[in-house]
Structure 1
Amino acid sequence: MARMTVENRARIFAALADPTRLKLVEMLAQEEELCGIHIAQRAGISMALLSHHWKVLADAGLVVRERRGQRQYCRVDRDILAEAFEHVWPQRRIRSSLFGQVR
């Protein structure tokens, strides 16, 4: 995997600085993927607000969205998230402690 630039890491951590987006990433990190409707319900936000936050997270490379029929599903890009944290704490292997076995 190519080394992540400081600009990429800054975009990731800026996206995570918002409490709602951090909550969304934490929620998604616990699941393989979730449907947008279920994410919005769990987070207590509207679909319009979820869409806004998804865009920021996707632009940072943290989430992958996929449309299936009329529903949109989202999942965390665990490799990107783990790599960003590994730059901050290089002496520790974050990937396994954050996510267990990475697929």
Structure 2
Amino acid sequence: MTAKEFERISKALGDPHRLKILQEIKKNKCMACACIREMIDLAQPSVSHHLKQLIDAGLVIAEKEGREMRYSIDDKVFTDYINYLSTFAQ
């Protein structure tokens, strides 16, 4: 993981709404945008903005299913992030 990737992920994780979105997706394995919007009580444009930030950081994977997008967590990116972060604790 590069320092730039680490920075992008850290910024994405720095927002409480994005953390809540990640928690809901992780808990449900995979979610549609409408379901996420209902769970965190934000307007659809705000949810889309936060999802874009999470996708751009590599934390969330978007897959088209029929007419809607479904979102899931990219566990490998989280593992790489934690491993990179752990180098600061040694």
Question: Which TM-score band (shorter chain)?
Answer: 0.7 to 0.9
Q: Residues 18-97 of structure 1 correspond to what in structure 2 (within 5 A)?
A: 18-90=15-87
Q: Which runs of at least 4 in structure 1 moved beyond 3 Å after TM superposition?
A: none
Higher helix share: 2
Q: CA deviation at 1:31?
A: 2.5
Calculate the TM-score normalised by the size of structure 1.
Answer: 0.78
Ranges in structure 2 where 5+ consecutive residues have no aligned partner: none
Which residue is equivalent to 1:99? none
Offset at residue 89 of structure 1 (A): 2.1
CA contact (8 A) 1:12 1:60 kept: yes
Give the 3-state SS of the residue equivalent to 1:45 in structure 2. Answer: coil
User: Where do 5+ consecutive residues of structure 1 fail to align?
Assistant: 91-103
Hey, what does 2:13 align to over in structure 1? 16
Instruction: Report 1 or 2 for greater relative contact order, CA contacts < 8 Å, sequence distance ≥ 6.
Output: 2
Q: Is the 8 A contact 1:65 1:72 kept in 2?
A: yes
Aligned residues: 87
Counterpart of 2:47, as a letter, is L
1:30 partner SS: helix
